[in-house]
Chains A and B, each alone.
Chain A
Amino acid sequence: MTSEVTQILNAIEDGDRQAASQLLPLVYDELRRLATQKMTREPAGQTIQPTALVHEAFLRLVGGEDKPNWDGRGHFFAAAAESMRRILIEAARRRKTEKRGGDRQRIDLSSDDVVAHPEDSETLLALDDALKKLDNEDPELARLVELRYFTGLTIDQTAEILGVSPRTVKRNWAYARAWLRREMEGDVSV
């Protein structure tokens, strides 16, 4: 599997546009698998940080061997960020429907498969909506937020991946952050 992802990353670097679309499902599946495995093996009550998970997935899928340059990593983390966003949003949606009372059996089975607090899922869903709007306005900014928020990359790492200066990342982050909040709060007041 490791080689598969590395190959894809290399292909992307070589300009193979098709390869990028193959990366996402691979990373997505790996993250889900990792999350499940964690939850099964770790003692109950132990929380698993999404960002930690992403980095573990990176090590498993890419790391070790011939280190790809940061650009290669960039593709990986972009895919990981999008995957993690999907995973978390799916869970938040599921939680929300459960709260409204769905199929009882489902509740029994999945009531403890979500550890986060219920209010977090509300926030998460609101953030997701706002992020979609930002994506329409300025896809670059949305990608920045996705990377920072869902994979936990630092300003410097993000700068390296996006190929811009840390100062630009910092300022853009500040702007996107304020923008999203204004958007989310606007939603609330409506």
Chain B
Amino acid sequence: MPHLSERSIFFEAIDLNDPHERRAYLDQACGGDAELRASVDALLQAHEAPDHALDRPPVEVPKIDFPHHIGSKIGPYRLMEQIGEGGFGLVFVAQQEHPVRRKVALKIVKPGTGTKEVLARFEAERQAVAMMDHPNIAKVFDAGVTDDGRPYFVMELVRGVPISEFADAHQMPIRDRLELFKNVCTAVHHAHQKGVIHRDIKPSNVMVTLHDDRPVVKVIDFGVAKAIGQSLTDKTIYTRFFSMIGTPLYMSPEQAEMSGLDVDTRSDIYSLGVLLYQLLVGETPFDRERLDSAGLDEMRRIIREEDPPRPSQRLTTLNARMTTVSNARRLDVKRLTSTLRGDLDWIVMKALEKDRNRRYDSAAAMANDISRHLTEQPIQARPPTLSYQLLKFARRQRVAIATFSLVALAMMIGTGASIWQMRVAYHERDLKEVALREATQAKRDVERFAAVVTEANSLVASAQTHAGSGRWKAAMDDYDRAIELQRNYDLPWIGRAQFFTRLNMWEEAANDYAHALSLGAATDTPQWWGVVALFTLTDHMQAANELCLQLNRQIALHKPIEQWEFVRTCAACRDCMSDQSLRDLAAWTRTELAKPEPPPQWDDGPRPPDRRRHPGFLFEPEGRPLRPPPERMPSDFSRSDFTGPNDGDTDWVGPEPSGSNPRDPGAFDSDQPPPPRSNRTGPPRSPHELPRNVRQYIAGLVHLRIGEHERAIELLEQARDDRSWPASWIVDAPMAIALHATNRADDAADALARSRQSIGEVTAMLSDERNPATKPPWFDFVEFFAFYTEASELIEGTTPIDVPSLEEIRSPVLMQLR
């Protein structure tokens, strides 16, 4: 009996801890039986190996579907036939014996939410539900708990088909669909008047049955969704969220937030909008597959932020399905598109507004608008007016600041921060369904705050438009109002600062920039190009230091500054940057300059005739100057997609900085986002976006700052000696400083003198408004004066007297502002 002996050998062996002893014993016990020996060895190995399945007790018990048999009884109801099954649970036809004998629909809720809570919520709503009496609403009779602890609901039995399926199956024309949908609206309106919100309006809850060949709508599940779904407030029940409510295709933005608060009748209006959308187009506004596959956060973001296409637009994206959809409406594709375009588009989109205040204020109002459309009267929902579009713009901006303003902004502002925290605190309490009212209030506060920010944004947009058309005064007023609205919000400050730079009002610009900086504005955006020089020139040394500190920090965090203009910004201050950071920057410039050059950019393509007059170093291949990018939401510039010269996208010059081109507002209206660009998410482009000598100039500045003066002189000479770049007036002053540092007094004096001679030309150019398109960016001038002043003080020991005062520079514009 080899098996038994194997066992006894095993027992003996495990008692022997010493390996030698054990081996000796095994040798002896097994004798020459190699098979036995191998088998015992395997046993011992298994005995000693860690992580044995048996050592981990089975941790979890599977949930077992308690069988609800046909014929079994639940309370006074006997199950007769299963008619539905889904994420919600099971639906049966059941026979009720008393007090009345009738057939009912019995819905057994899938386990998930606590039974007690479901019933308690239903009880709370029961009275209201009972008061609903409408031919298009299926009554809810009863609710209870099954033996195995699941809540169930007993409802009027509706043997129907979901409305969308019914309409398609019967090839209902648009008009008939609208008539049917109006009945849905009246039913929902009736419930709303009784204080019952449905919360889960979707085709499978809007059934259609035929009565004497006439389709009759029945909205089912009123009061049920609330009982089941209200505690869906947290990510931890993500899976349950989907299983209970199904896909969020019909869910309003405020429901998608799942704050559990504040869902009101207007959420139903939104869902009605989705339903109508589907009846018209055959698809939901957001793609089913996309929402299904998106994670919770992404799904919420889509619902909250993305504008769905209008029904008529959506139709065109259906491709192959388009014909099917049209046929089901007894129209050809073209006719269907034109039927939807206009009124129906606007009716649907009004119901689908993200901001529920902009939706129809009642289901009845929506039904009325549909009636008006059917009788060719003007509808209440209107195509967007200009002011409406401006508001939409502001809302888009709000999207951009969703992360920026509501988090960063709120954090940087005392009041905002406390509101935020209040909201968080309340949110937590709300999870326990406490303090509902206060939480609502807190949320309103946040919304009010967001509304103010939105308004400020729209004022900034309006200001940009005015500035773009040269209406300085109007632009100024809008900026002022935007700032006054919310003084802690940095965007209007930056906007006005840019506006001031446009007007050569450097002192004012510097003040606004400094203020924005103190509010914690993000500075890694092109709006901040050259601002260090501005701070230096206007004697805002603390702000200059702070700005450099931020750029420094970026380098310290190993986020290389791979933008020549930022490097240039850093180099403008004499001792703001740390030595190490400057050395890093210098090394970077050397590496970049050592790279092979693309063909010289300004030698191909036509040039504006006067291009050579200017040191406008920002040339794109066609010789059009690239201006500093637009005032836009800083967050829009988190990607480096604003430089345009060598990406082949030559049409895009960027919007005007503060409307620097009054005669030609350009292809860009400031209330529109820039045209979509194919390479937005493409790889970071090479830094060869500036002409070589401009890069040499910037490299020269950096080397000057780290004290490598010979290198600086060499680079600056190269920059100046390229005769295709007539930039002497900007190069001379830093050159003078470098020469001075290497004790070449005469050469330094000469360079300074050359710089001085340029003052007249530069000043004239500054106030020359004749050709704004080719005028160098404002910071060229600022940098020129800053370096000239620095060089004069260094070499001659005195503040130069020949620099025009800031007052002189700006006075011509001040007249226009009055």
Contact = CB atoms under 8 A, between A and B. Distances in A.
Interface of A: 32-33, 35-41, 43-45, 47-51, 53, 84, 87-88, 90-91, 94, 105, 108-116, 120, 123-124, 126-127, 137, 145, 148-150, 152, 171, 174-175, 177-182, 184-186
Contacts of A49: 57, 59-61
Nearest to A49: B59
Contacts of A124: 58
A47 B46 contact: no
B14 interface: yes
A109 B85 contact: yes
B59 A113 contact: no
Contact of A116 (B59, B86, B111, B115): B59
Interface in B50-106: 52-54, 57-66, 85-87
Interface of B: 3, 7, 10-11, 14, 42-47, 49, 52-54, 57-66, 85-87, 110-112, 114-115, 148-150, 236-237, 239-240, 243
A88 to B, nearest CB: 6
A175 B11 CA distance: 8
Contact of B60 (A47, A145, A177, A178): A47
A127 B54 contact: yes
Contact of B65 (A109, A116, A137, A182): A109
A37 B148 contact: yes
Given A44-B240, A182-B42, A185-B46, A50 B66 contact: no
B11 A171 contact: yes
A112 B54 contact: no
B694 to A, nearest CB: 60
A181 B239 CA distance: 36
A115 B64 CA distance: 11
In the complex, which of the residues A36, A174, A182, A185 has the most CB atoms of chain B within 10 Å of its own CB atom? A36
A134 B112 CA distance: 39
18 contacts: A35-B64, A37-B149, A39-B63, A40-B115, A41-B149, A47-B61, A50-B61, A88-B58, A88-B61, A109-B85, A111-B243, A115-B60, A115-B62, A116-B58, A120-B59, A124-B58, A127-B53, A175-B43
A32 B148 CA distance: 10
For the residues of A in contact with B, the DSSP-based class is helix
A109 to B, nearest CB: 7
Given A36-B64, A87-B61, A112-B240, 15 more contacts: A33-B66, A37-B148, A39-B63, A41-B115, A45-B236, A47-B59, A47-B60, A48-B61, A50-B59, A87-B62, A108-B243, A123-B53, A179-B46, A180-B54, A182-B46
A181 B63 contact: no
Given A33-B148, A37-B148, A39-B63, A149 B54 contact: yes
B60 A175 contact: no
In the complex, which of the residues B61, B66, B87 has the most CB atoms of chain A within 10 Å of its own CB atom? B61
A88 B53 CA distance: 14
A150 B54 CA distance: 10
Contacts of A111: 243
A39 B58 contact: no
Contacts of A45: 236
Contact of B63 (A50, A112, A184): A112
Contacts of A38: 61
